[in-house]
C-alpha cells in the first residue's frame, strides 16, 4: 500500500461526501445499518467512519437509548461527519483501528464499512475489533469485490492508464478493490479469534446523473487524487476529463448506471 492510500484531507472529504457517497456507499450503508439494528445493540463502535454515511444510517435506525462511538484515522473526515450528524447519542473520536483506545469487552457491536482494506495489518485490526467486543457481540463489516465487478471503478482505472501510460495510478485496484479473496478474509478473521464467520455477496446498482459525476467521485474524492497530482501539476482536470469521456463511451452521455458488488461479513465473538 502506498503512503498516500490512507490520506483523506484538503478538499477530499467534501467531494467524497458529495459525489462518492451517493455513487457507491449509500446502498451498502443502509444494508449494514439494517443488520446492526436487527441485533439490537445498546453500544456500537464504528471504525473508519469516513464522512459518516453509516453513522447517519445507524442513527436513524437505532433507539434513543443506544450509544454510538464513531472513529476514523483521518480527523478531517471525522470533522465532516460530525458536522452533518449532530446527535447527543454519538461520541466522536479520532482512532487507529490497529490500536483502539477502548477497554476490553466495551461494545455490543463493532461496524466497519469499506475500511479494513486500508489496514496495514488486517489480522491486528480484527484482533482489536474482537478485543473490544463483548462476548457474543457482532463485528459487521464489508469489503469490495474485485474491480472487474465494480464497473465505474474499472473504467476509470483503465482510462487513467491512457493518461499516464508509463506509470498508471492503481489505487482503486490496489487498495479498495485489492482485498476480495473471501477465503483469505475468513482465514484472517479466524486467526484473530473469530470462529463464527459468515460472508454474503451483495450487489447493487451505482447511479449518477452524468458521466462526469463518477469521474469526479473517483479522481477527486479519494486518495486516487493524491496519485494523480503526484504525476504532474495540473494533471487532475485532464485525468478527470478523460475518465468522464471513458464513462460516457461505456454507459452513455445521460444518466449512467453500473454494477457494484461487495461482500458483507458478520463475525461473532
Q: What is the pLDDT of residues 77-94, one digit of tens each?
A: 899 999 998 899 999 999
Rounded to whole angstroms, the Cα distance separating 178 from 113 reads: 15
Rounded to whole angstroms, the Cα distance separating 263 from 198 reads: 10
Write out the residue range of the structural domain in which residue 263 sits.
Answer: 3-268
The confidence score (pLDDT) of residue 116 equals 98
Rounded to whole angstroms, the Cα distance separating 245 from 215 reads: 9
User: Is 217's pLDDT higher than 60?
Assistant: yes
Please check whether residue 127 is in contact with residue 191, taking contact to mean a CB–CB distance below 8 angstroms: no
Rounded to whole angstroms, the Cα distance separating 260 from 153 reads: 9
Summarised one tens digit per residue, pLDDT across range 165-189 is 999 999 999 999 999 999 999 999 9
User: What mean pLDDT comes out for the span 130-157?
Assistant: 98
Burial class (CB in 10 A: 0-12, 13-18, 19+), 168: middle
Count: domains in the chain: 1
The confidence score (pLDDT) of residue 5 equals 41
Angle between helices 212-220 and 151-163 (to 10 degrees): 70
- Residue owning grid cell 475500511: 115
The confidence score (pLDDT) of residue 6 equals 47
Q: Where are the beta strands (DSSP E) in the chain?
A: 43-46, 67-72, 90-94, 107-113, 133-144, 196-208, 256-268
Pair type for strands 196-208 and 256-268: antiparallel
The confidence score (pLDDT) of residue 1 equals 55
Average pLDDT, the chain: 95
User: Is 4's pLDDT higher than 90?
Assistant: no
User: What mean pLDDT comes out for the span 15-28?
Assistant: 95
The confidence score (pLDDT) of residue 234 equals 86
* CATH number, position 132: 3.40.50.150
Amino acid at each position: 500500500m502506498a503512503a498516500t492510500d490512507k490520506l483523506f484531507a484538503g478538499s477530499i472529504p467534501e467531494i467524497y461526501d458529495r459525489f462518492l457517497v451517493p455513487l457507491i456507499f449509500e446502498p451498502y450503508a443502509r444494508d449494514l445499518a439494517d443488520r446492526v439494528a436487527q441485533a439490537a445493540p445498546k453500544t456500537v463502535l464504528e471504525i473508519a467512519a469516513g464522512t459518516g454515511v453509516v453513522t447517519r444510517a445507524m442513527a436513524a435506525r437505532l433507539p434513543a437509548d443506544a450509544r454510538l462511538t464513531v472513529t476514523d484515522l483521518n480527523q478531517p473526515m471525522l470533522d465532516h461527519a460530525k458536522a452533518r450528524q449532530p446527535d447527543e447519542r454519538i461520541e466522536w473520536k479520532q482512532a487507529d483501528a490497529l490500536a483502539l483506545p477502548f477497554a476490553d469487552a466495551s461494545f455490543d457491536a463493532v461496524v466497519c464499512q469499506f475500511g479494513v482494506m486500508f489496514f496495514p495489518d488486517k489480522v491486528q485490526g480484527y484482533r482489536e475489533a474482537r478485543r473490544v467486543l463483548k462476548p457474543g457481540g457482532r463485528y459487521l463489516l464489508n469489503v469490495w469485490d474485485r474491480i472487474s465487478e465494480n464497473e465505474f471503478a474499472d473504467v476509470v482505472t483503465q482510462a487513467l492508464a491512457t493518461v499516464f501510460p508509463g506509470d498508471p495510478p492503481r489505487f482503486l485496484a490496489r487498495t479498495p478493490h485489492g482485498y476480495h479473496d473471501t477465503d483469505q478474509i475468513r482465514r484472517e478473521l479466524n486467526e484473530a479469534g473469530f470462529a463464527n464467520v459468515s460472508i454474503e455477496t451483495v450487489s447493487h446498482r451505482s447511479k449518477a446523473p452524468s458521466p462526469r459525476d463518477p469521474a469526479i467521485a473517483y479522481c477527486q474524492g479519494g486518495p486516487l487524487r493524491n496519485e494523480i497530482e503526484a504525476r504532474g501539476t495540473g494533471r487532475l482536470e485532464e485525468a478527470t476529463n478523460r475518465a468522464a469521456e471513458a464513462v460516457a463511451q461505456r454507459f452513455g452521455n445521460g444518466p449512467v448506471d453500473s454494477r457494484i458488488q461487495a461482500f458483507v461479513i458478520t463475525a461473532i465473538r
